[in-house]
Amino acid sequence: MRTQVAIIGAGPAGMLLSHLLAAEGVGSVVVETRSEEYVASRIRAGILEQSTVDLLRATGLGERLDAEGHRHRGIYLQWPGERHHLDFVDLTGRSVWVYGQTEVQKDLVAARTAAGQQVYYEVGDTALHDLETDHPSVTFTDASGAEVRVRADAVAGCDGSFGPSRCAVPSSVRQQWERVYPYSWLGILADVAPSTDELIYAWHPDGFALHSMRSSSVSRFYVQVPNDTSLDDWSDDRIWTALADRLGHGQDGWSLETGPITDRSVLPMRSFVATPMRHGRLFLAGDAAHIVPPTGAKGLNLAVADVALLAPALAALVRGSSSLADSYSDTALRRVWRCTHFSWWMTSMLHTSGDPFDAELQLSQLRWVCSSRAGAAGLAENYAGLPIGF
Ligand code: RFL
Ligand code: PHB
């Protein structure tokens, strides 16, 4: 089979890329190892930054987001005895939206299905070929067991952190940077109205906690736990007690409402960047090229920013002009490293290490961010997101 762009991975990066390419008149085929239902129901990101929302709206994907998403002016930062609101709109003129990745994925799948996009789900043995020529291809076994080869002008590796695309960049040219953090997040989803109007990021001597949300009746929470934590050791009671302590239940009349827990998982935290993001006719986007710890809410937004740059570059490439494709990796990596730094910085400021010197530095940093307009504006500018192409 022949197409213009073969896309590996039907997560947000791959599906949005196929949508943006179609808007440029470029055809694509998407291949995905998991089932459509599995990809649609993975509970992940919850926060969209301003430029992500602008892009989704501009490309016809904003209808449900505008009806069901919630615009937030900022976040709360807190530590024992104090809670401060940072107003991003006041500080930078930009805001963020609470709209789950599951919802973005549904909107993307609906739009691509309506447009007749070819997506192969439940494929096996995905392999990339002839990337250093102008006639690359991707082979796989489809759900019925048939072997398929997709010939294309370019291949987009949107296959997340465990897919084969990154390793198709030869180790002689690939460079990788990694930081593994000595803690994880235990995340829950609960059927309870949020106890806050905007997200609360809490520093606490027992460890970080985050109060997020998905809707007016569903809340999302995270607590810092040691690596290798087993869910079996965390009863519902233990989770709610840790959240109440760390989020300041009882402080200044604030209370944490609890409810039935509908999902729970432990997530390790790491920073990872692989360069270059382009090798021959292979282009990497999203988690395939970089991972950030979730404290800055950047992973999904960075995947969107990558494909916003990649779509016009590929459209030009298939029409014979290679300059945007040639600059894609360097341009994308400027934002990748900015978000990598911001996510590391938020993580380092808010997670306890057990070292009392670190704790004093963190509290000093938090006080400065919450009391200085310059400190607050730096956080706000990064959290609400820099313009695409920064
Ligand atoms: P994905 O979503 O992992 O999709 C990659 C797809 O590729 C498929 N695949 C293959 N397909 C074909 N052949 C193969 N051999 C393949 N191997 C893999 C996979 O099955 C998968 O469907 O990567 P993508 O599209 O780059 O999107 C990245 C985002 O999903 C990720 O960065 C975010 O979820 C990160 N993240 C957050 N990001 C934010 O911007 N804001 C947040 O608030 C936020 N919170 C989070 C998060 C991630 C979390 N987890 C679980 C990692 C909270 C959590 C808990
Ligand atoms: C979430 O709602 O899942 C979420 C929100 C903010 C973060 C990370 C995760 O920083």
Verify whether ligand 2 is closer than 6 Å to residue 281 (CB atom): no
Which of 296, 262, 303, 273 shows the shortest CA–CA distance to 55? 303
CB atoms within 10 A of CB 63: 11
Does residue 387 have a pLDDT over 90? no
Q: What are the residues facing 21 on neighbouring strands?
A: none
Say what the pLDDT of residue 302 is. Answer: 97
Query: Which residues are known catalytic residues?
Result: 72, 201, 294, 298, 383
Query: What is d(CA 28, CA 183) in angstroms, rounded to the nearest whole number?
Result: 40
Q: What is the fold of 5-72+96-177+270-354?
A: FAD/NAD(P)-binding domain (3.50.50)
pTM over 0.85: yes
Does residue 45 have a pLDDT over 90? no
C-alpha of residue 150 to centroid of ligand 2, in Å: 37
pLDDT tens digits, 262-275: 999 999 999 999 99
User: Quick one: tokens of 380?
Assistant: 């706000």
Verify whether ligand 2 is closer than 6 Å to residue 47 (CB atom): yes
Q: Which of 231-245, 342-356, 375-389 comes out lowest in average pLDDT? A: 375-389
For ligand 1, residues with CB inside 6 Å are 8-14, 31-34, 39, 44-47, 101, 123, 126, 158-160, 162-164, 187, 267, 286-287, 294, 297-301, 303
C-alpha of residue 71 to centroid of ligand 2, in Å: 14
What Cα–Cα distance (Å) separates residue 317 from each residue in 21, 154, 283, 312, 358? 12, 8, 12, 8, 49
Q: To the nearest 5 percent, what fractions of the chain are helix, strand and coil? A: 40, 25, 35
| Domain ranges (residues) in the chain | 5-72+96-177+270-354
pLDDT tens digits, 238-260: 999 999 999 999 999 999 999 99
Asked if 272 and 343 touch (Cβ cutoff 8 Å), the reply is no
Q: Within a 13 Å sphere around the CA of 333, how many CA atoms are in the beta-carbon half?
A: 18
